[in-house]
Amino acid sequence: MAVRSAMHRAGAAALAELLRFAVPAADQRTIPCSCGHQARHQEARGKTILTVVGAVKISRPYYLCPHCHLGQFPADVELDIKNTESSPGVRRLEAFVGQEAPCEQGRQRMKLLAGLEVTTKAVERMAEVIGADIAARQQAQIQLAMQLDLPIVVGDPIPILYIQMDGTGVPVVKKETVGRASKTEGQPAHTREVKLGCVFTQTTWDEEGRPVRVPDSTTYVGAIETAEEFGKRLYLEAWQRGWSRARVRVVMGDGSVWIWNQADLHFPGAIQIVDLYHAREHLWELARKLFPNDEALQKRWMMTHQHWLDHGKIKKLVTSLQSTPTSSAELSEKLRIEAEYFRRNAMRMRYPKFRRLHLFVGTGVIEAGCKTVVGSRLKQSGMFWTVRGANAILALRCCYLNGRFEDYWEGRRAA
Ligand SMILES: [Zn+2]
């Protein structure tokens, strides 16, 4: 650690020398100003920036426009340090630790791993700024994707491409839930739903015919937004992942109506599959209501009903629910709703057929994503998000987890 500190100090001194800009030559003392006039060179001005080797004082030429009095530092633009006291390297580290963990932990990691002293607030601010920038760039791409036909992504055909969608609540500050319906009636909602989607591929199955996901093939998109906005976001991601050259296309989710509306709209013709385990849970919930406190009867009822579900005999299941005698109005309504749920999703519950095709029947990938992408970063105790802040962190985190963090920084340099 002592050696590292010494190396940092030596590096900072060398960097300060490198970043001492010379006085511009006589023919380069004016540069264009955005107002249309010419800004004139004034003098060299100093600024201290935090770099990955510590604080460095740099000196660069300052230009002032006599017409509109706007000042500018062309060197700051070149070095990507305009209006900031951190170098791109430090900002990249701050964004990295900020997407990974709560910002106080991020501050500690900066100190331990990089030997840099920054504030928790700086990590938080930088993660949000970078995340918002990533989100804005994506939004521009989404607009483009909606306006024109996207260029075909070249590459080998993909045997099976999956899309899974889910929703998960994150705690938000009070102002973000004003006027919104809560899940439990009469109580204020404290959360907003993050819609999360993932895309992954499957090329093979194991000896027992079970599907095998290609390791590291999963990418995520997520935001607190309407189903319509989210649908476009997921469409772009699927397109970039090679939707157009997938031989078999599969969309999976639970029974939520918004999921299937978006699936029909953006991914027509894809095989739609309702998560088997969600469907089973619907049956268990009914069993508990039909036979309260009688586990033996619940299990017996489940034996036949789950058998029908697992074997795709949805018509039988629906008929049974519709003809279940009950004297309770509440229970009868519940049976009607559940019968409708299975009837509506019958085509998406052809599990024997899906198994024959060696497809997944569970949405484990997106459920794990809800934990790793959203839960571990945004649902820690004491966290309350603004929609803006949560969406910025989500954009940043997805960018990193999708392996596109370096591309983002390259894209910034090119811009
Ligand atoms: Zn000017």
| pLDDT, tens only, 345-391 | 999 999 999 999 999 999 999 999 999 999 999 998 888 999 999 99
**What is the average per-residue pLDDT within 201-223?**
95
pLDDT in tens, 26-55: 888 999 999 999 999 999 999 999 999 999
pLDDT at residue number 182: 61
Q: Which of 89, 84, 83, 106 is nearest to 51 (CA)?
A: 89
The residues near 62 (Cβ < 8 Å, ≥ 6 apart) are 41, 42, 43, 44, 45, 71, 72, 73
Q: How far is the CA of 49 from the centre of ligand 1 (A)?
A: 27
Q: How far is the CA of 63 from the centre of ligand 1 (A)?
A: 10
pTM for this predicted structure = 0.88
Q: How far is the CA of 32 from the centre of ligand 1 (A)?
A: 8
Q: How far is the CA of 42 from the centre of ligand 1 (A)?
A: 14
Q: How far is the CA of 37 from the centre of ligand 1 (A)?
A: 5
pLDDT in tens, 234-272: 999 999 999 989 999 999 999 899 999 999 999 999 999
Q: How far is the CA of 23 from the centre of ligand 1 (A)?
A: 21
Q: How far is the CA of 350 from the centre of ligand 1 (A)?
A: 68
At 210, list the tokens.
Answer: 């079970």
Q: How far is the CA of 30 from the centre of ligand 1 (A)?
A: 12
Q: How far is the CA of 73 from the centre of ligand 1 (A)?
A: 13
Cβ count within 10 A of residue 14:
12
**What is the average per-residue pLDDT within 398-410?**
93
Q: What are phi and psi of 43, to 5 degrees?
A: -160, 180
Q: How far is the CA of 41 from the centre of ligand 1 (A)?
A: 13
Cβ count within 10 A of residue 303:
9
Residue 185 has pLDDT above 60, yes or no: no
Strand pairing report for 246-253 and 211-213? unpaired
Q: How far is the CA of 59 from the centre of ligand 1 (A)?
A: 23
Q: How far apart are CA 146 and CA 321, in angstroms?
A: 43
Q: How far is the CA of 40 from the centre of ligand 1 (A)?
A: 10
Residue 181 has pLDDT above 80, yes or no: no
Residue 125 has pLDDT above 60, yes or no: yes
Cβ count within 10 A of residue 8:
18
129 CB burial (10 A radius; 0-12, 13-18, 19+) = middle
Q: What is the DSSP string of 362-397?
A: S-HHHHHHIIIIIIHHH-STT--B-HHHHHHHHHHH
**What is the average per-residue pLDDT within 114-119?**
92
Q: How far is the CA of 250 from the centre of ligand 1 (A)?
A: 56
Q: Give kind and range of the element (H or E) at residue 249.
A: strand 246-253
Q: How far apart are CA 337 and CA 138, in angstroms?
A: 39
Residue 402 has pLDDT above 90, yes or no: yes
Q: How far is the CA of 75 from the centre of ligand 1 (A)?
A: 18
Residue 152 has pLDDT above 90, yes or no: no
Mean pLDDT for all residues in the chain: 92
Q: Provide the percentage of residues in the chain whose pLDDT is more than 70.
A: 98
pLDDT in tens, 258-317: 999 999 999 999 999 999 999 999 999 999 999 999 999 999 999 999 999 999 999 999
CA 406 to chain centre: 17
Q: How far is the CA of 48 from the centre of ligand 1 (A)?
A: 26
Q: How far is the CA of 28 from the centre of ligand 1 (A)?
A: 17
Q: Which residues pair with 30 in a beta bridge?
A: 40
